[in-house]
Amino acid sequence: MTGMIGARAAPPKHKSVEWYTPAWIFDRLGLQFDLDPSSPHDYVTAVPAKTKYTIFDDGLSKQWTGRVWMNPPYGPDTGFWMRRLIAHGDGIALVFSRTDAEWFQEAMASASATLLIKGRIAFVPGH
């Protein structure tokens, strides 16, 4: 990291905090899902889920059934979403590898499988 002292990141080109899962992820998984509990309200995503809850539905408080796909909102509430998926017991979460976070450690301990993707995913920018 030589030469990086005092360096600042370039300003973001996109101001939204919403970033959506690219279709290639679902193409490679080859799975259908029963629920996406954290789906965007203003964008049709590539998530192959029968039921989608948006922020207006409050997916954390709704009933979860079947196989769940979750690309949760990031921030201080990520742990709530992950703990809900752990309690549900059937699903896939796409999350940062935050090995220092308690929710990440809990998820790793309860997961039946883990896949680490090399590099960074080019997410679809929100509105």
Residue 25 located in a structural domain: no
| Phi, psi (deg, nearest 5) at residue 78 | -55, -40
pTM above 0.85, yes or no: no
Residue 124 located in a structural domain: no
Q: What is the DSSP letter of 101?
A: S
Please list the pLDDT of the chain residue by residue as tens digits (127 residues): 444 444 444 444 545 567 889 999 999 999 999 999 999 887 778 999 999 999 999 999 999 999 999 999 888 999 999 999 999 999 999 999 999 999 999 999 999 999 988 999 998 887 6
The end-to-end CA distance of the chain, in Å, is 34
What's the number of domains the chain is made of? 1
Query: Residue 99 CB: number of other CB atoms within 10 A?
Result: 8
Give pLDDT, residue 38: 94
Residue 101 located in a structural domain: yes
Q: Where are the alpha helices (DSSP H) in 1-127?
A: 23-29, 78-88, 102-110
Q: What is the DSSP letter of 123?
A: P
Residue 122 located in a structural domain: no
- Domain that includes residue 103, residue range: 33-113
Q: What is the DSSP letter of 24?
A: H
Query: Residue 124 CB: number of other CB atoms within 10 A?
Result: 15
